[in-house]
């Protein structure tokens, strides 16, 4: 596609439910990154992939958060047993190769009630 796309754009869920956030990177981009961004703050690194391999997941807050990119293209960030503190904008970015420019998607705004 022309740019990074994410779905859904908005997600409202009840505490305790699981959610899956999808990221479709720019076609041909090797690297894919997940960030979380609070209002007024910069993006906070969660995890990233090169192709289908998860390279670094040190930013995932706890074991309720997981991510996968099984075929090296689309990625899914899953949050299990959501809590109110998980409410935030979740952004995905992709780059052609490691260390190159990261292009951000529009984000998924998650609200946990």
Partner 1 sequence: QQPVQSPQAVILREGEDAVINCSSSKALYSVHWYRQKHGEAPVFLMILLKGGEQKGHDKISASFNEKKQQSSLYLTASQLSYSGTYFCGTDVSNTDKLIFGTGTRLQVFP
Among 75, 82, 94, 102, binds partner 1 (CB under 8 A): 102
Neighbour-count burial of 67, counting CB atoms closer than 10 A to its CB (0-12 exposed, 13-18 middle, 19+ buried): buried
Q: Counting contacts by CB under 8 A, is residue 25 touching partner 1?
A: no
User: Which of 27, 58, 62, 84 touches partner 1 (CB under 8 A)?
Assistant: 58
User: Cα(30)–Cα(110) distance, rounded to whole angstroms?
Assistant: 26
Least distance from partner 1 to the Cβ atom of residue 58, Å: 8
Select from 24, 35, 29 the least CA-distant residue to 57: 35
The set of residues, in sequence order, having a beta carbon less than 8 Å from that of 58 and lying 6+ positions away, is: 45, 47
- Binding characters for partner 1, 33-52, by CB under 8 A (x = yes): x------xxxxxx--x-x--
Q: Note the residues at the interface with partner 1 (CB under 8 A).
A: 31, 33, 40-45, 48, 50, 55-56, 58-59, 91, 95, 98-107
């Amino acid at each position: 596609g022309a740019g990074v796309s994410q779905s859904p754009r908005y997600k409202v869920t009840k505490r305790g439910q699981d959610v899956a956030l999808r990221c479709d990177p720019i076609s041909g981009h090797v690297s894919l990154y997940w960030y979380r961004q609070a209002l007024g703050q910069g993006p906070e690194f969660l995890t990233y992939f090169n192709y289908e391999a998860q390279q670094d997941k040190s930013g995932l807050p706890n074991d309720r958060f997981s991510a996968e990119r099984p075929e090296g293209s689309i990625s899914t960030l899953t949050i299990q047993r959501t809590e109110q503190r998980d409410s935030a904008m979740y952004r995905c970015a992709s780059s052609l190769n490691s260390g190159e420019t990261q292009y951000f998607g529009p984000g998924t705004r998650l609200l946990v009630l």
